[in-house]
């Protein structure tokens, strides 16, 4: 095995939380609100089903191939040629997705805080920091997130608590005026985020307590669901119909905080949450990509690949979208199909093939034996 480190199930759960949540926080409430209107708080609950499914698929596949990651068992399941092709597809996919994440990070920071700083510089520095973490390996990433994530989530809750007095519960009603359809429609975009949970296929082989992988995976999905519901609730009860017209509802909500005309101007907290959260998110994706590439090329170590891939990620970040509108359009239209097909449907097919193959092999074994 290339990766010699081990992480615990709880570490995996903690590091997957911002790996999904960090980018949902900004663009997704507005996209959900467009479809679901006052039922937007329901949408994450529907979409989390996709997250549970992804964790389940990754766990099942891992049960069959306990020591291999997604890229490796593509080959074991589909054979050498097809497996390599699918593996390459996955690697390109993760390149693209990580590029998009990097871009979202850059768009937000330059759009709200540093309008004059070149975006390449903004995400270049981020990638540099992430590459150190990736270079350190899985254990380092696990411990980093154990340190950072609780702080991030705590700060996030603080924002929510400080907004409590401005929330208006009436914005929630009428409940489900048009039935369940709008909230399910609104759940499609977050679904693609939740499907990213298939990423745990890269971490399950390195768990110290693998039998607990499923449990911690599900806990992690539930925690993400909780925070997205909270996010949507906050923006809905604060902004009502206005939510869908805002670009970054959470950001504006934080600007809205004013306690005793003294505790104001707290956007810096969002910035801190955002930078720390995306750091984990990019690192997790970056790590999976690097490890996958090394496994695909059958290298003995993934470390020499870290910096070259980081360099490529910077360019992917720059190329992934010409503008924020295009990015947002991509995320709300084609991205769900793109992400769901590669992160849910393909693993599902892989699992079925693997199950059939195993049965077939076992029969053969019993027949010969």
Partner 1 sequence: MSNESLQTIKKILALVFINIMVLLLSGCWDRKEVNDLGLVTAAGIDKISDKTIELSVLLYIPKSAGSGQSMNGGSEVGDAQTLVRSAKGVTIAEAMSKLQEKLPRHIFWGHTEVFIFNEKLAKKGLLKHVDFIIRHPQLRERSQLFISKQKAKEVLSLLPPLERDLAAVLRELESLKVGMEVTVKDFALMVLSESGDSAVPWIKMLPPEGGKKKKETIAYIAGTAIFQKDKMVGKIDDSITRGVLWLRNDIRLATVTVKPKGANGYVSLSLQNASSKLIPKVDNGKWKVLLKANAEADIVQNTTQLDMTNIEVIKNLQHQLKKEVENRVKLALVHVQKDMKADIFGFGDTFNRKYPDLWKRDKYRWNEIFPNIEVTIDLDIKIRRQGMNSVLSAIIPEEVKQK
Shortest Cβ distance from residue 119 to partner 1 (Å)?
A: 11
Residue 303 CB, shortest distance to partner 1, in Å, is 16
Nearest to partner 1 of 81, 173 (CB atom): 173
Nearer to partner 1, 120 or 353 (CB): 120
Say whether residue 242 binds partner 1 (CB under 8 A). Answer: yes
Alpha helices in 164-209 (DSSP H): 181-194
**CB count, 10 Å around CB of 194?**
30
Site string for partner 1, 169-208 (x = CB under 8 A): -x--xx--x-------------------------------
For partner 1, the binding residue among 167, 230, 246, 324 (CB under 8 A) is: 246
Nearest to 283 by CA among 308, 315, 306: 306
- Is position 167 an interface residue for partner 1 (rule: CB under 8 A)? no
Among 84, 93, 258, 330, binds partner 1 (CB under 8 A): 258
- Distance, in Å, from the CA atom of 193 to the CA atom of 14, rounded to the nearest integer, reads 16
DSSP 8-state class, residue 42: T
Q: Which range binds partner 1 by CB under 8 A, 41-49, 185-193, 203-211, 234-242?
A: 234-242
| C-alpha distances out from residue 209 to 53, 55, 216, 228, Å | 21, 16, 10, 28
**Contacts to partner 1 from residues 303-342, by CB under 8 A:** none
Among 80, 81, 116, 262, binds partner 1 (CB under 8 A): 116
**Out of 97, 133, 200, 238, which residue is the one contacting partner 1 (CB under 8 A)?**
238
Percent of the chain as helix, strand, coil, to the nearest 5: 85, 0, 15
Residue closer to partner 1, measured from CB, 117 or 341 = 117
Smallest distance, Å, CB 218 to partner 1?
A: 35
Element (H, E) at 221: helix 213-239
Stretch that binds partner 1, among 154-162, 227-235, 255-263, 338-346 (CB under 8 A): 255-263
Residue 139 vs residues 64, 136, 168, 285, 298: alpha-carbon distances, Å: 24, 7, 44, 15, 22
Name the maximum alpha-carbon separation found in the chain. 81
Cα-Cα end-to-end distance for the chain: 31
Q: Is 8 in the site for partner 1 (CB under 8 A)?
A: no
Q: Residue 73 and residue 178: Cα distance in Å, rounded?
A: 44
φ and ψ at 42, to 5 degrees?
Answer: -80, -30
Which one of 19-27, 56-64, 113-121, 195-203 is the stretch in contact with partner 1 (CB under 8 A)? 113-121
* Nearer Cβ to partner 1 (139/267): 267
By C-beta, is 193 or 239 nearer to partner 1? 239
Nearer to partner 1, 87 or 124 (CB): 124
Those residues whose C-beta lies under 8 Å from the C-beta of residue 368, and which sit 6 or more positions away, are: none
Binding site for partner 1 (CB under 8 A): 111-118, 121, 125, 170, 173-174, 177, 238-242, 245-246, 252, 255-256, 258, 261, 264-265
């Amino acid at each position: 095995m290339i990766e010699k480190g081990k992480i615990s199930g709880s570490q995996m759960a903690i590091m997957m939380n911002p790996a999904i949540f960090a980018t949902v926080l900004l663009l997704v409430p507005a996209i959900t609100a467009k479809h679901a209107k006052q039922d937007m708080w329901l949408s994450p609950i529907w979409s989390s089903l996709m997250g549970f499914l992804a964790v389940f698929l990754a766990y099942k596949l891992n049960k069959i191939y306990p020591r291999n990651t997604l890229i490796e068992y593509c080959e074991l399941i589909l054979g050498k040629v097809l497996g390599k092709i699918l593996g390459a597809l996955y690697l390109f996919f993760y390149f693209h997705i990580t590029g998009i994440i990097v871009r979202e990070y850059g768009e937000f920071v330059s759009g709200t805080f540093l309008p004059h700083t070149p975006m390449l510089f903004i995400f270049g520095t981020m990638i540099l920091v992430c590459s150190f973490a990736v270079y350190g390996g899985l254990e380092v990433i696990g411990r980093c997130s154990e340190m950072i994530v609780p702080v991030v989530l705590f700060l996030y809750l603080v924002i929510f608590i400080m907004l409590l007095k401005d929330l208006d519960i009436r914005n929630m009603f009428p409940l489900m005026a048009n039935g369940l359809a709008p909230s399910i429609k609104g759940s499609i975009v977050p679904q693609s985020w939740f499907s990213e949970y298939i990423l745990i296929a890269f971490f399950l082989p390195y768990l110290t307590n693998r039998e607990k992988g499923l449990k911690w995976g599900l806990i992690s999905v539930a925690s993400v669901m909780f925070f997205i519901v909270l996010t949507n609730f906050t923006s809905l009860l604060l902004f009502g119909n206005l939510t869908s017209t805002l670009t970054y509802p959470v950001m504006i909500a934080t600007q809205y905080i004013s306690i005793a005309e003294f505790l104001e101007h707290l956007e810096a907290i969002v910035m801190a949450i955002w930078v720390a959260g995306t750091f984990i998110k990019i690192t997790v994706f970056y790590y999976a990509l690097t490890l996958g590439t090394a496994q695909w090329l059958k290298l003995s170590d993934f470390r020499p690949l870290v910096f070259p891939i980081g360099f490529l990620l910077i360019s992917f970040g720059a190329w992934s979208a010409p503008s924020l509108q295009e990015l947002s359009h991509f995320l709300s239209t084609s991205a769900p199909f793109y992400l769901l097909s590669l992160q849910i449907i393909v693993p599902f097919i892989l699992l079925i093939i693997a199950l059939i193959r195993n049965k077939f092999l076992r029969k053969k074994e019993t027949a010969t034996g």
